[in-house]
């Protein structure tokens, strides 16, 4: 079964004039179809106003379709009987860390959700501990949230969502108000939950670098899914991304410019390491691409670092 399935979704907001009277509608989502499988890490990109937040709010039944259908874990969001189960299974983390923490002590804040749905006290403390541990915030459990950095606050917000034992978390630009360190902490925590606990993650972001490790990227434009694919498929389309007013990761852009200038490089460089390898590989007589390398080291079952070391040695004329 899909974790999330959306069919022909349309969402219209009611536009209001200065006096608050209805004055027409704004179509924020315009015919979206998509599917997210359990355990996937999804990134959603798109410039401001493209409909990302509106889409996100459909995923935990904060908004309902004007037309079409949204299923979360097989539950139709329009069916009122599913409301609380959907909100428990699909937790939301928003942009501003200061609006999401309500208690005076970190651990109380994390326990608030489970307490609200009647989880027994002993079980609440178990969940609080596990959730704080999962986001690397256990040592701060007795602190006042006021004393935390933005990145730490966002991780506490994520812990609060995890304490509800969700199948899916939706993060709507969770790093937009954080410094680079805080951003890294939050993305690392989300990635860890996905990889280690199998929680489906839907990350809305305008930092392209945060989307590199996603299983799948959806790019939104004017309320539609304009592009869909792996990070490599999406970021290799530099021109199309520019048309959609989006960047690609800096190193991808550099590789793109080098290619335009005549260097033989693959169209889809995502990391510094790949660029370095590709530049070395682009020397005459060496036809190896990062893709073929990847396959080789996968097949040999060796860890990347070992494989890298060997490659380096081989490149230096050392036959081992
Ligand atoms: N509460 C609202 N009332 C009316 N229009 C809205 C409301 N929220 C968003 N919109 C409009 O819907 C469109 C999509 O907005 P949003 O989903 O917030 O986009 P994004 O998150 O990608 O920036 C925009 O044109 C925005 O102005
Ligand atoms: Mg938004």
DSSP line for 243-298 = HTT----HHHHHHHHHHHTT----S---SHHHHHHHHHHTSTT----HHHHHHHHH
Closest ligand (CA of 48) = 1
Ligand 1 atom nearest 57 alpha carbon: 17
- Diameter over CA atoms, the chain: 79
Query: Best mutation site among 21, 54, 172, 221 for ligand 1, i.e. most ligand atoms within 8 A of its Cβ?
Result: 54
Clarify whether residues 45 and 159 are in a common domain.
Answer: yes
Query: Residues with beta carbon inside 6 Å of ligand 1?
Result: 13, 26, 28, 46, 48-54
Distance from the CA of 160 to the center of ligand 1, in angstroms? 26
Contact (Cβ atoms closer than 8 angstroms) between residue 162 and residue 134:
yes
Residue 19's φ and ψ, nearest 5 degrees, are: -85, 0
Domain termination residue (choose one: 177, 203, 231): 231
What's the number of domains the chain is made of?
A: 2
The burial class, CB within 10 Å (0-12 / 13-18 / 19+), for 14 is: exposed
Clarify whether residues 217 and 285 are in a common domain.
Answer: no
- Span of 87-101, 196-210, 292-306 with lowest mean pLDDT: 292-306
Domain termination residue (choose one: 182, 199, 231): 231
pTM of the model: 0.86
Clarify whether residues 78 and 224 are in a common domain.
Answer: yes
pLDDT tier at 162, thresholds 50, 70, 90: very high
Mean local confidence (pLDDT), 149-173: 95
Clarify whether residues 216 and 308 are in a common domain.
Answer: no
Residue 125, domain CATH: 3.40.50.300
pLDDT of residue 307: 39
CB neighbour list of residue 156: distance below 8 Å, 6 or more residues apart: 97, 101, 106, 109, 110, 132, 135, 137, 140, 145, 148
| Mean of per-residue pLDDT scores for the chain | 88
Closest ligand (CA of 172) = 2
Distance from the CA of 28 to the center of ligand 1, in angstroms? 6
Distance from the CA of 62 to the center of ligand 1, in angstroms? 14
pLDDT tens for residues 205-240?
999 999 999 999 999 999 999 999 999 999 999 999
Distance from the CA of 153 to the center of ligand 2, in angstroms? 20
Distance from the CA of 58 to the center of ligand 2, in angstroms? 13
Nearest 5 degrees, angle CA 180-CA 164-CA 53? 50
244 located within any domain: no
46 located within any domain: yes
Structural domain range at position 175? 4-231
Which DSSP state fits 102?
A: -
pLDDT tens for residues 288-298?
444 444 444 44
From the CA atom positions of the chain, what is the Rg in Å?
22
């Amino acid at each position: 079964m899909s974790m999330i399935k959306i069919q022909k979704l349309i969402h219209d907001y009611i536009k209001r004039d200065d006096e608050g009277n209805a004055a027409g509608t704004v179509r924020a989502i315009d015919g979206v179809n998509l599917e997210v499988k359990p355990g996937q890490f999804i990134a959603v990109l798109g410039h401001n106003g493209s409909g990302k937040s509106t889409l996100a709010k459909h995923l935990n039944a904060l908004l309902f379709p004007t037309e079409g259908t949204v299923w979360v874990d097989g539950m139709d969001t329009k069916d009122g009987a599913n409301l609380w189960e959907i909100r428990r299974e699909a937790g939301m983390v928003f942009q501003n860390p200061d609006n999401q923490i309500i208690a005076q002590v970190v651990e109380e804040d994390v326990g608030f959700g489970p307490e609200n749905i009647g989880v027994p006290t002993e079980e609440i403390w178990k969940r609080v501990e596990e959730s704080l541990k999962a986001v690397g915030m256990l040592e701060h459990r007795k602190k006042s949230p006021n004393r935390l950095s933005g990145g730490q606050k966002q991780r506490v917000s994520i812990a609060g969502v995890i304490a509800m034992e969700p199948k899916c978390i939706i993060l709507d630009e969770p790093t937009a108000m954080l410094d680079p360190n805080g951003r890294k902490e939050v993305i690392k925590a989300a990635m860890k939950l996905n990889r280690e606990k199998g929680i489906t993650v839907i990350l809305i972001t305008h930092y392209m670098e945060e989307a590199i490790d996603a299983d799948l990227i959806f790019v939104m434009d004017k309320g539609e899914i304009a592009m869909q694919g792996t990070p490599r498929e999406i970021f290799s389309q530099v021109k199309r991304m520019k048309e959609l007013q989006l960047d690609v990761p800096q190193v991808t852009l550099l590789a793109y410019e080098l290619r335009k200038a005549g260097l033989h490089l693959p169209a889809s460089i995502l990391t510094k390491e790949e660029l370095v390898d590709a530049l070395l590989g682009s020397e005459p007589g060496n036809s190896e691409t990062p893709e073929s390398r990847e396959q080789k080291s996968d097949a040999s079952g060796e860890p990347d670092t070992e494989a890298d070391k060997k490659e380096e040695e081989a490149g230096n004329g050392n036959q081992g």
